[in-house]
Chains A and B, each alone.
Chain A
Amino acid sequence: MNRIAERFRDGLWRDNPGLVQLLGLCPLLAVTTTFVNGLGLGIATLSVLVVSNGLVSATRRWIRNEIRIPIYVLIIASLVTCTELIFKAWFPALDRSLGIFIPLIVTNCAIVARAEVFASRNPVGSSIVDGFVMGTGFALLLVTIGAFRELVSMVWLLALLPPGAFFSLALAIAVKNAIDGRRGEKREDAVPQPTRLVR
């Protein structure tokens, strides 16, 4: 139980794919003009991440090192295609508004990063949890920035334009660091957290 809580702290906060690892920034910056867009892309990315982690982990014993990357690409591309079809069938309005960013989930490096760093070395259950946690961390960030930009744009239109996206993300990272910093002052033992990702 404790371990699961720890994993959530990693995915949502300490190792958040968007805030800390700075992965998947292209969709993050591009679609977060509204709360609903953020939520839509967040859920789509989360679903792909959970299933791709599950599949990569389930097949990890048969996959030799030399062909692992093409296999990840194959799995992720198929899952994204399925997700796109599902969005087109059940959420047509959201699909029109997210447009090309649903197929572009393929290029979200957060997904291939989790396959490589985690799912290829851990059992299926654990990998699914990892996909869920990391996906949720990414989705929450999309939703937060989407809601923030939508609100601010009511008084300041710049929030909807590309610079608004960069400022919003920068603000989110600054707030996170400020909170971490304040916590660090209280706990003397706190050391800077290295990111877990080997780049």
Chain B
Amino acid sequence: MSDASMTRSGLTLAAIAAVCTTLVALTFQLTDERIDANRQAWLEQSLQPVLAGVSFDSGIIDSQLTFPSPNALPGAGDAIIYRVYSAGAPAAALFVVSAREGYSGPIKLLVGVDADGAVTGVHVLEHRETPGLGDQVETGKSDWATQFRGRSLGDPVSAGWAVRRDGGEFDQLTGATITPRAIVKAVRETLEYYAENRILVFGVSGDPAPPDEVSR
């Protein structure tokens, strides 16, 4: 190829890349708001099932609290927390966190913890794991995530908070150890955060008491 034709090819590629980028940017602009709204709706829809077995009489959604990054919860960015109360006393907290060491990027999780520090449920909100392997952690695909229910920092003790292959007490998936390992770690870190920051979670300055007039 001569220099001139090389330049021409380069320019064609650049022009088409510019057009394609514009197309994607415009679509993003057009869909951005709806995608955020859908994401929030999906999160809100998943809150209740994660609280299975907890009795509470306060609203969930309006109890949202944002801990700006950096914070000690797993995942990058702001952490979102929901709190529920029973007769004014803390009943459970829900954490939106992300497991950073997934097979294909971060895995967004919802982790529910009751007042005693036991897990009420774990739900995978978003992930990019491989279909048929890592995606079995999804609630609809297998019951893998149910094994966390009722577990707490003392049960099992710290070395047990790992997948079996690493000497822990949690099942991995057949042919997929990386995804479960990442999630077990994130759940454990969430529990540790909760153990140390319980007061921060349930009563932050400016938001001291549970909102008692909110109905369920």
Which residues on A are within 8 Å of B, measured CB to CB? 30, 59, 62-64, 66-67, 70-71, 74-75, 77-79, 81-82, 85-86, 88-90, 92, 96, 99-101, 162
For residue A86, give the distance in angstroms from its CB to the closest CB of chain B: 6
Q: Are A67 and B12 in contact (CB under 8 A)?
A: yes
Instruction: Find out whether the CB atom of B1 lies under 8 angstroms from the CB atom of A82.
Output: no
Q: A75-B20, A78-B21, A78-B23 are in contact. Are A64 and B8 (CB under 8 A)?
A: yes
> 4 closest pairs, A vs B, by CB?
A89-B31, A78-B20, A89-B34, A92-B38
Residues of B within 8 A of A162 (CB): 132
- Please classify the interface of chain B as helix (H, G, I), strand (E, B), loop, or mixed, using the class held by over half of its residues: helix
Question: Given B5, B38, B41, B135, which contacts A89 in the complex, CB threshold below 8 Å?
Answer: B38
Is B13 part of the contact surface with A, judged by Cβ < 8 Å?
yes
Residues on A with beta carbons closer than 8 Å to the beta carbon of B12: 62-64, 67, 71
- In Å, the complex CA distance between A86 and B130 comes to 22
Q: Is the CB of B20 within 8 A of A66?
A: no
Measured between alpha carbons, how far is A100 from B41 in the docked complex, in Å?
Answer: 20
CA gap between A63 and B5 in the complex, in Å: 12
A-contact bits for B122-163, CB 8 A (1 contact / 0 none): 000000101110010000000000000000000000000000
Interface size on B, residues (CB 8 A): 26
User: From residue A89, how far is it (CB to closest CB) to chain B in Å?
Assistant: 4
B213 → chain A, closest Cβ, in Å? 32
Q: How far is the CA of A88 from the CA of B21 in the complex (A)?
A: 19
What distance in Å separates the Cβ of B90 from its nearest Cβ neighbour in chain A?
Answer: 32
Distance A77 CA – B16 CA, assembled complex (angstroms): 12
Our pick among A67, A88, A92 for the contact of B13 (Cβ within 8 Å) is: A67
Number of A-B contacts (CB under 8 A): 65
Bound complex: CA of A82 vs CA of B35, how far in Å? Answer: 13
Contact A100 B42 (CB under 8 A): no
Q: Is the pair B28, A85 in contact by a Cβ cutoff of 8 Å?
A: yes
Contact A88 B128 (CB under 8 A): no
Other than the known A64-B5, A89-B34, what 17 A-B pairs have Cβ atoms closer than 8 Å? A64-B9, A66-B9, A74-B13, A74-B17, A75-B16, A78-B24, A79-B23, A82-B23, A82-B27, A85-B28, A85-B31, A86-B27, A86-B31, A88-B31, A88-B34, A88-B35, A90-B31
Chain B residues whose C-beta falls within 8 Å of the C-beta of A30 in the assembled complex: 131-132
Q: Complex: how many Å from CA A77 to CA B12?
A: 17
Q: Please give, as numbers and ranges, the residues of chain B lying within 8 Å of A100 by CB-CB distance.
A: 128, 130-131
The residue of chain B having its C-beta at the shortest distance from the C-beta of A30 within the complex is B131
**14 contacting pairs across A/B (C-beta < 8 A):** A59-B16, A64-B9, A64-B12, A71-B13, A74-B17, A77-B20, A78-B21, A78-B24, A79-B23, A85-B35, A89-B34, A92-B38, A100-B130, A162-B132
A71: nearest chain-B partner, CB-CB: B16
Contacts of A81 in B (CB 8 A): 24, 27
Q: Give bound CA distance, A59 to B24, whole Å.
A: 18
Expressed in whole angstroms, the minimum distance between the Cβ of A196 and any Cβ of chain B is: 27
Residues from 6 to 30 in B contacting A, C-beta threshold 8 Å = 8-9, 12-13, 16-17, 20-21, 23-24, 27-28, 30
A92: chain B residues at CB < 8 Å are 38, 41-42
Roughly how many angstroms separate A64 CA and B1 CA in the complex, as a whole number? 12
Q: Are A90 and B132 in contact (CB under 8 A)?
A: no
> Which single residue of chain A is at the shortest CB-CB distance from B22?
A78
Cα distance A101–B128 in the bound complex, in angstroms: 10
